[in-house]
Amino acid sequence: MEATNSMPNFAVLQLSGCSGCEVSLLNANEWVDKYKLLYMPLVITTKKIPDEIETLIITGGVRNEEDEYNLRKAAAIAKRVVAVGTCAISGGVSNLGDRDEVRQLFNQDLKRHNLPTLLPKSHPVDKFIEVDLYLPGCPPTPELFMAALTSPEDFKPGLIVCAECGRKKLGDMKPKHLTGFQTNVDQPDICLVNQGFLCVGTSTRGGCRALCTRPGHPCVGCRGPSDILIEKESGAWFESIKRTFNRMTEVPEEELDAALKSPQLSLFLFQFADYEGADIKPRNKNKVL
Amino acid sequence: MTILTFPMSRIEGHARVVIEEDGGVVQSADFQAMEMRGFRYFVIGTPSEQMPVIVPRICGVCSTAHHVASVKALEDLYGITPPPMADKIREILLLGQLIQNQATSLFLFTMPDRMGVNSIFAAKDLDCCGTDDTNLTQSALRVRKAGTDLITLAGGQFIHPIKAVIGGVISGIERERADVMLKILDEILPVAKGLFDCYWNLSLTLRDRIGTWGDDEPTYYLASTQDDDLTLNSERLRVLDPTGKEIAGFKPRDYQKHLIMEESRYSYAGESSYQGQIIRANSLARVNMARKLNTPEANVYLQRFKQEFGDPAHAILLFDICRGIELVYAIEKAHMMLEDDLEKGDVKVDYSVRDGVGFGLVEAPRGPLIHRYEVENGLIKDADFIIPTAHNMRAIRRALMVVANRYISPNGINLELDKAVGRVVRAFDPCIACATQ
């Protein structure tokens, strides 16, 4: 391996997250011979963030004061900033904690000596800094990582997950109820919505190659809203999903409404919808891979 | 008093070691987990059936273990038993994770300590024990990717798997795809063995240089694997005493009768003990429990290990060597299992949601992992995640005390301390995202 100074370089800033995005990046081993990796505490011993960075990849949400400090410091010197994964884009899974009753439990339990102070909630990184490219996914696939590093403009994913799934949508197979979340036995090649699964692939951004739906698990929307919905408020996404189910199923409205409010969907469906206090504008779809 | 702080790298998550010394006398050594997201709080109120999708996000490194433990806890709660085929596929899923994790820990996290570099990415022209054209970085990444491929095959998604579901798995494994995987495993086994042999030799060199494998005292061991195999989709935990005698065996449901769990004021990670005694989990615990392994190449390594280092073995840096044995085992075992038909037959049984308390156990790469869920009206009322890294927390602290005393004296602080602290923590391969959730 020749790591020379003429190679393009990048750094990975890990905030509060699960390291799944980093693991995905390690799976994309094509970059190893083409890029110089400057900083990534998961695999490199370095005491500090480097002084010059071409591309800064940020994973994880801003959960404590130290995350915020490191984020501001690294972003200030990076030429290009890429926010990767649900946590960096929307606060992610830890955002499920942004409920009053949960926060109370937190506060009772979470005083520790000499550790970075927790913020009241997990924040997306663009609350603090400017982002040049968003790469949603939980985690994004190695293929998407490579596209983000090299030439995002040349990467043409399917508009929605359905375009990459390949299961047939049937006009005459209309379930009357949603199946229990995991109870139904999947009939291969037939659309999961036709089978009564709460699959949100019809509104979810493509590019993942329909990893989950092809083997038979409903899409939970981890890539966030498709281009058509991304600059709209979160209600638009709900409406779009409901229209699909009204057209393809006979599931009663109330049942659908209740199911759409489930925590596992809210993990992902609210990506790009965190316009808290109106100080964050809708993200420009041209900045999203 | 001087406070020495060592931010950790080449481990999963954010943690630091803090050593306090006064006039060359060590006062304390602590290992602090600094981040926290709060899973056990925010899953409260979640429909129980959704846990297998949410909890893998506790950790992107150990996601498979959380996924399977979650499904098993709900099966225990709903009172159902998955078909044998589903158990096999889950085992393959966990083997994939073991390959990926042990390869990462060995070659990405700890190999640099043995080569005197900061990272296997940052160094130029790494020469792996003279094996001429072998590119260490690419070979190491290939081995770990074989683990990811196996997770994708058996688990659908490649990091946060989806295929294990309550009652079984969503589908079998097609012959054609199994054959592709068999070919990858055939190719990767000699690469993994080559890297591991090199690692073993470099470890001997390291021991000669520092004069020790880590001179901590013998201790208790906790694992959920058995004498004669390493089944990861496990049912029962076991405890060995420092002489290697089995002194307790229990179901996950009874863990509180044997293990004491405590919170820490200085860290977001809790810690456990066996009746107040320091325990160790992870690779060394499993190897100390295994008399033999039922795959040929790994068994040769196991017997060589026991002959060279004793049985039970206690030295801290031996954790790392044990990971190599398990890496070879997991590759061989996955190969054996994929030769069978996994395509036809029942993969799933029906269930209906009911209330109660359920426990799910798997042997994760870092040790036994238990999920405990209490469900009321179909919603999670309370959840506990008994994390393998928590079992090692007290052992890590004691090992750090040993290291601190070795390198800090009234004459000064030996600069080897910085490296030694890293080596000791990495030997336990702690996972901070899991430990704090």
Task: Tell me the pLDDT of chain B (437 aa) as tens digits.
Answer: 899 999 999 999 999 999 999 999 999 999 999 988 889 888 888 888 889 988 999 999 999 999 999 999 999 999 999 999 999 999 999 999 999 999 999 999 999 999 989 998 865 555 555 554 457 888 899 999 999 999 999 988 878 888 888 999 988 999 999 999 999 999 999 999 999 999 999 999 999 999 988 878 899 999 999 888 899 999 999 999 999 999 999 999 999 999 999 988 889 999 999 999 999 999 999 999 999 999 999 999 999 999 999 999 999 999 999 999 999 999 999 999 999 999 988 999 988 889 999 999 999 999 999 999 999 999 999 999 999 999 999 999 999 999 999 999 999 999 999 999 999 999 999 999 999 98
| Whole-number Å distance between alpha carbons of A97 and A266 | 12
**In this predicted model, what pLDDT tens digit does every residue of A114-172 receive, in sequence order?**
888 888 788 899 999 999 999 999 999 999 999 999 888 888 888 999 999 999 999 99
CA distance A220 to chain B (A): 9
Q: How confident is the model at residue A55 (pLDDT cuts 50, 70, 90)?
A: very high
Phi-psi region of B233 (alpha: psi -120 to 50; beta: other; left: phi over 0): beta
State how far Cα B386 lies from the chain centre.
13
Coil, strand, or helix at residue A33? Answer: helix
- Predicted confidence at residue A275, as pLDDT, reads 53
Nearest CA in chain A to B60: A20
- Predicted confidence at residue A279, as pLDDT, reads 59
List, in order, residues 6 or more apart from B153 with CB less than 8 Å away: B92, B96, B173, B177, B178, B181
3-state SS record for chain B: CEEEEEECCCCECCEEEEEEEECCEEEEEEEEECCCCCHHHHCCCCEHHHHHHHHHHHCCCCHHHHHHHHHHHHHHHHCCCCCHHHHHHHHHHHHHHHHHHHHHHHHHHHHHHHHCCCCCCCCCCCCCCCCCCCCHHHHHHHHHHHHHHHHHHHHCCCCCCCCEECCEECCCCCHHHHHHHHHHHHHHHHHHHHHHHHHHHHHHHHHHHHCCCCCCCCCEEEECCCCCCCCCCCCCEEEECCCCCEEEEECHHHHHHHEEEECCCCCCCCEEEECCECEECCHHHHHHHCCCCCCHHHHHHHHHHHHHHCCCCCCCCHHHHHHHHHHHHHHHHHHHHHHCCCCCCCCECCCCCCCEEEEEEEEECCEEEEEEEEEECCEEEEEEEECHHHHHHHHHHHHHHHHHHHHEECCEECCHHHHHHHHHHHHCCCEHHHHHC
Phi, psi of A217 (to 5 degrees): -105, 130
Residue A182 gets which letter from DSSP?
T
Of residues B388, B348, B386, B349, the one with CA closest to residue B97? B388
| Whole-number Å distance between alpha carbons of A189 and B222 | 45
Find out whether B306 and B318 touch, Cβ atoms under 8 Å: no
- Predicted confidence at residue B90, as pLDDT, reads 96
Regarding predicted confidence, which is higher, A216 or B289? Answer: B289
Of B35, B163, B268, the CB nearest to A217: B163
A26/B121 CB distance under 8 A: no
B121/A37 CB distance under 8 A: yes
Of residues A144, A158, A132, A127, the one with CA closest to residue A21? A144
| Whole-number Å distance between alpha carbons of B2 and B28 | 11
Cα dihedral angle (A119, A125, A129, A135), rounded to 10 degrees? 180
The secondary structure element, H or E, covering residue A89 is helix A85-90
For B339-364, letters b (16+ CB in 10 Å) and e give eeebeeeebbeebebeeeebbbbbbb
| Whole-number Å distance between alpha carbons of A162 and A181 | 19
CA atoms in the 13 A half-sphere facing the CB of B18: 13
List, in order, residues 6 or more apart from B161 with CB less than 8 Å away: B56, B63, B64, B67, B93, B151, B154, B155
| Tokens (6 digits) for A166 | 């390949």
- What integer is the mean pLDDT of A92-102? 72
Q: Sign of the CA dihedral B87, B88, B94, B98?
A: positive
The secondary structure element, H or E, covering residue A242 is helix A234-248
CB contacts, 8 Å: A186 with chain B: 170-171
**Residue pairs between chains A and B whose CB atoms are closer than 8 Å:** 216
CA B178 to each of CA A287, B185, B336: distance values in angstroms, whole numbers, following the listed order:
39, 10, 11
Query: Residue A274 pLDDT > 70, yes or no?
Result: no
B5, B10, B41: which to substitute to probe chain A, counting the most A Cβ within 10 Å? B41
- Predicted confidence at residue B214, as pLDDT, reads 81
B141/A29 CB distance under 8 A: yes
CB contacts, 8 Å: B53 with chain A: 220, 264
CB contacts, 8 Å: B65 with chain A: none
List, in order, residues 6 or more apart from B245 with CB less than 8 Å away: none
Which CATH fold would you assign to the domain B2-435? Answer: Cytochrome-c3 Hydrogenase; chain B (1.10.645)
Does B350 lie at the interface with A, CB-CB under 8 angstroms?
yes
A19/B162 CB distance under 8 A: no
| Whole-number Å distance between alpha carbons of B170 and A278 | 42
Find out whether B309 and B200 touch, Cβ atoms under 8 Å: no
What is the percent of chain A with per-residue pLDDT over 90, rounded to a whole number? 53
- The β-bridge relationship of strands B220-223 and B237-240 is antiparallel
- Predicted confidence at residue A1, as pLDDT, reads 42
Radius of gyration, alpha carbons of chain B: 21
Nearest CA in chain B to A30: B138
- Predicted confidence at residue A3, as pLDDT, reads 47
CB contacts, 8 Å: B122 with chain A: 3, 37, 44
- The β-bridge relationship of strands A62-64 and B25-33 is unpaired
ipTM: 0.91
B42/A97 CB distance under 8 A: yes
Question: Tokens 């491929």 appear where?
Answer: B149
Does B68 lie at the interface with A, CB-CB under 8 angstroms?
no
- What integer is the mean pLDDT of A71-80? 96
Cα dihedral angle (A253, A254, A256, A259), rounded to 10 degrees? 170
Q: How confident is the model at residue A87 (pLDDT cuts 50, 70, 90)?
A: very high
Of residues A156, A85, A97, the one with CA closest to residue A124? A85
Nearest CA in chain A to B143: A27
**Gap between the terminal Cα atoms of chain B:** 33
B10/A186 CB distance under 8 A: no
CB contacts, 8 Å: B108 with chain A: 26, 43
The secondary structure element, H or E, covering residue A144 is helix A142-149
CB contacts, 8 Å: A178 with chain B: none
- Predicted confidence at residue A277, as pLDDT, reads 53
Does B64 lie at the interface with A, CB-CB under 8 angstroms?
no
Residue A36 gets which letter from DSSP?
E
